A and B are shown apart, each in its own frame.
Chain A
């Protein structure tokens, strides 16, 4: 039996029946990590329990080995955001999601590689080196949760927790052929997630099926008094509500997401997915969503502005890395931040500082907030007609390593289909829906209305009942 090819729920079932022991599951994972890590560099820190002993009745996923993106605080385990500036930083507390998952019997095996401070779309801006795609080690795993997607795709863990500010769960999931979900903003507590852009950040699962994602969300969603933006909405019950039935559901295809810039193979695969959804009982209809034109600039202004403030605390004074030599306090700040942050992070801090500057605030940041409201309204209107929207996740499949670093603007533009979802605070999921001619996975995105997380998961679940794209595994990193 190839344990690493099971879904998280399947493994949990075998743990409960005693067919597989917790130790066997952890050993399998550690052996896979040992084999795959030199190739894909998915982990930043491997830190598993020597003798796993989860309470197997704690949740449907109890005892299943998993890992966290390295921007999620784990008490006593280094958390670096894949940045030099947080070298040696060990949080003194657990993020709320970590607390909840631990209580649900999750067995963490460590911390996953990512773009530095989650800024990037390929996980190449990491201080720990780039993550490589398990399907083709010369290609990027996507980003910023590239380590999470690669580790799940390579069978190193059964699921992972990533974060998504503009597509950082969905896009790497698409590039690596796994399922990733960004829940409705406010449904998962951000307490303990080292912030990139606070109004857009949301954590979520990357796994091998929509059902696995539902089981994870059942644990991590729900009001947290430590996060003022967390919603007092009903949580739990997502896994139990998956029917796979889409009868009577209306799915909208925004034509603005299928035009110029979209790779024809990706286009064909996503349209084929629409046919499958039809076969599950849904009706599919094209409609216009012209606000798509504004989503990328709006996103980069808001995200950079918030990032410039959020990352100010990394100044070498209190924790993490500090420049070796400095004269004055000003020097300490300048040297530490100049040497401690990578190029992409500095680019966004500068951009954000600029758009918040006195004299430019109204023209950029304030305007961007106004456009954000317009974008949200456009989606709200779409959801008066449709239950779900279907789009590509990214315009292409995974690029070659190095390609994006040389052309950041192109990289920013490739976020077009995912960033709108964060601006509107919506739930959205990326599911594998085929391969291109080079054998690289293609992802389709299902977007739901606010708090329509169950609807999104059910759409994907229906699709995965009819297809087996999500069951495909890469050869790279395979121990066999």
Chain B
């Protein structure tokens, strides 16, 4: 029998607000335990949550970018459960009236993933177990960091579709500036709901939910494992149990955490400490008007306005920081194609060499723009320029100072070139004879000799021209 895999995703994204969702503590990652805390985010008796308006704004922006309906009336709800990382013993979330619902994401290849809802909630703290002392310690720094949870419909049929969606989601949220979406730091976390069914069937099979997926690679592998596990069970005539399973990266397998029978009753009810949110049309229209250009639109514009190849446009827009960098270089007067070539070649090359992401590099647009300008003006030979680039990349060094200090300025003085050409011709009579006998290869050799004499700093066009003139005499 052929089986079809059916997948839905719940993605938690940490919002990049400076302060927490209900108090003014910093959201900065890390820090000594319990140093990013106050009476509010540690749930001290008597404290009250007050919504950070930036969180609302970011959630609506994300919803708009994911083509969601924005709820004109929304509310927070309490999700009640006991756990030491949750100091109030309830999480403030949204169940009954989420801020955004019914969206859609085009993941390419004619496939659209429907968004069921997007809601706001607070993150919990962290428990650190000390096996030596057999003690568990609570760190509440992460308590109250704002999250949005984006829930899709069960529209995925493969791991590839899931990854395309997550890449699109990450790019979109980064473009919006609402999250940095770093999986390693947990600012993008994903739970995968998966079931299988005979191909062509309309009914859904029993699903499991997988947690602890910390990378795209883990997601792909967990999906492959879990689909296979479920298919094998069904083919053996067994049943899939509805349960939560944990992905174990080291063992490359999923393990049952808890079954539905043990599922908690969260006793959701409207949060009485936060009044319902009423959003005006003006508020939503204002945010819609202020939405930045997203990757797709940029891609189209780069191709249409600047004639970049589709591949280049896609690469440049794959990371917002890269696209921003590119546009700033162009804005400094650089030819877009030149800028694109340099970024596609040298910048991406250096990022890869240094293991950096575009948003973390020191290099600034004026540095690259200046370098390209020197080449364009004939003051720097392209090969030399690449060397200069490599030298200044890591700490955004001063291009002009570096060129001057290392005496790299290109020789475009035809008089000086002529002198050298004459010396070279005199010293290489055989090659001159070869050339005149029709061996074009000899020309290249002579150019090389001239360049060597000039330490590679001559403008190739000038060398070619002078050499041809002399040889034709």
Q: How far is the CB of A326 from chain B (nearest CB, A)?
A: 13
- Provided the pairs A306-B272, A312-B88, A361-B269 are in contact, do residues A194 and B50 lie with their beta carbons within 8 angstroms? no
* Interchain CA distance A451-B3 in the complex, whole Å: 65
* Interchain CA distance A379-B181 in the complex, whole Å: 50
- Provided the pairs A228-B49, A313-B87 are in contact, do residues A91 and B44 lie with their beta carbons within 8 angstroms? yes
Inter-subunit contact A312/B82 (CB<8 Å): yes
Inter-subunit contact B269/A356 (CB<8 Å): yes
Q: Mark B30-41, 1 if CB is under 8 A from A, else 0.
A: 000000000100
Inter-subunit contact A91/B80 (CB<8 Å): no
Residues of B contacting A192 with CB < 8 Å? Answer: 46-47
Residues of A contacting B274 with CB < 8 Å? Answer: 228-229
The yes or no answer to B48 lying at the interface (CB within 8 A) is yes
Inter-subunit contact A312/B45 (CB<8 Å): no
The yes or no answer to A161 lying at the interface (CB within 8 A) is no
Inter-subunit contact A227/B80 (CB<8 Å): no
Q: Mark A85-109, 1 if CB is under 8 A from B, else 0.
A: 0100101110100000000000000
Inter-subunit contact B87/A318 (CB<8 Å): yes
Inter-subunit contact B90/A227 (CB<8 Å): no
* Interchain CA distance A403-B413 in the complex, whole Å: 111
Inter-subunit contact A228/B275 (CB<8 Å): yes
- Provided the pairs A92-B39, A309-B90 are in contact, do residues A228 and B273 lie with their beta carbons within 8 angstroms? yes
- Provided the pairs A93-B39, A358-B265 are in contact, do residues A312 and B51 lie with their beta carbons within 8 angstroms? no
The closest CB in chain A to the CB of B23 belongs to A226
Q: Which of A91, A195, A305 contacts B269 (CB 8 A)?
A: A305
Inter-subunit contact A225/B45 (CB<8 Å): no
Inter-subunit contact A333/B46 (CB<8 Å): no
The closest CB in chain A to the CB of B50 belongs to A228
Q: How far is the CB of B84 from chain A (nearest CB, A)?
A: 5
The yes or no answer to B42 lying at the interface (CB within 8 A) is yes
Residues of A contacting B49 with CB < 8 Å? Answer: 228
Chain B 268-284 residues near chain A, CB threshold 8 A: 268-270, 272-275
Q: Mark A288-314, 1 if CB is under 8 A from B, else 0.
A: 000000000000000001101100111
The yes or no answer to B245 lying at the interface (CB within 8 A) is no
The yes or no answer to B166 lying at the interface (CB within 8 A) is no
Q: Mark A45-72, 1 if CB is under 8 A from B, else 0.
A: 0000000000000000000000000011
The yes or no answer to A191 lying at the interface (CB within 8 A) is yes
The yes or no answer to B462 lying at the interface (CB within 8 A) is no
The yes or no answer to A193 lying at the interface (CB within 8 A) is yes
- Total residues of chain A contacting the partner, CB 8 A: 45
The yes or no answer to A198 lying at the interface (CB within 8 A) is yes
Residues of B contacting A467 with CB < 8 Å? Answer: none
* Interchain CA distance A301-B45 in the complex, whole Å: 22
Interface residue SS majority, chain A:
loop
Q: Which of B39, B42, B45, B50 contacts A227 (CB 8 A)?
A: B50
Residues of B contacting A1 with CB < 8 Å? Answer: none
The closest CB in chain B to the CB of A225 belongs to B50
Q: Mark A343-367, 1 if CB is under 8 A from B, else 0.
A: 0000000000100111001000100
Inter-subunit contact B46/A199 (CB<8 Å): no
- Provided the pairs A93-B39, A198-B272, A357-B265 are in contact, do residues A329 and B84 lie with their beta carbons within 8 angstroms? yes
Chain B 253-277 residues near chain A, CB threshold 8 A: 265, 267-270, 272-275
Q: B45, B88, B272: which has the most chain A beta carbons within 10 Å?
A: B45
Q: Which of B44, B265, B269 contacts A93 (CB 8 A)?
A: B44
* Interchain CA distance A86-B267 in the complex, whole Å: 25
Q: Mark A205-229, 1 if CB is under 8 A from B, else 0.
A: 0000000000000000000011111
Residues of A contacting B269 with CB < 8 Å? Answer: 305-306, 309, 356, 361, 365
* Interchain CA distance A329-B138 in the complex, whole Å: 13
Inter-subunit contact A313/B88 (CB<8 Å): yes
The yes or no answer to B205 lying at the interface (CB within 8 A) is no
Inter-subunit contact B272/A199 (CB<8 Å): yes
The closest CB in chain A to the CB of B267 belongs to A356
Residues of A contacting B273 with CB < 8 Å? Answer: 195, 198, 228-229
The yes or no answer to A20 lying at the interface (CB within 8 A) is no
Inter-subunit contact B50/A358 (CB<8 Å): no
The closest CB in chain B to the CB of A317 belongs to B84
Q: How far is the CB of B70 from chain A (nearest CB, A)?
A: 21
- Provided the pairs A195-B46, A309-B80 are in contact, do residues A315 and B89 lie with their beta carbons within 8 angstroms? yes
Residues of B contacting A72 with CB < 8 Å? Answer: 46
* Interchain CA distance A93-B78 in the complex, whole Å: 25
Q: B50, B51, B265, B272: which has the most chain A beta carbons within 10 Å?
A: B272
B residues bordering A, Cβ < 8 Å?
A: 39, 42-51, 78, 80, 82, 84, 87-90, 138, 265, 267-270, 272-275
Across the A-B interface, give the 4 residue pairs with the lowest CB-CB distance, nearest first.
A312-B89, A356-B267, A199-B272, A198-B272
**6 other contacts beyond A191-B46, A357-B265, with CB at 8 A cut-off?**
A192-B47, A229-B272, A306-B272, A313-B43, A315-B82, A317-B138
15 inter-chain pairs at a CB distance below 8 angstroms, sorted by A residue, are: A71-B46, A93-B39, A93-B44, A193-B46, A197-B272, A227-B50, A228-B273, A228-B274, A229-B275, A313-B43, A313-B88, A315-B82, A318-B43, A318-B87, A361-B269
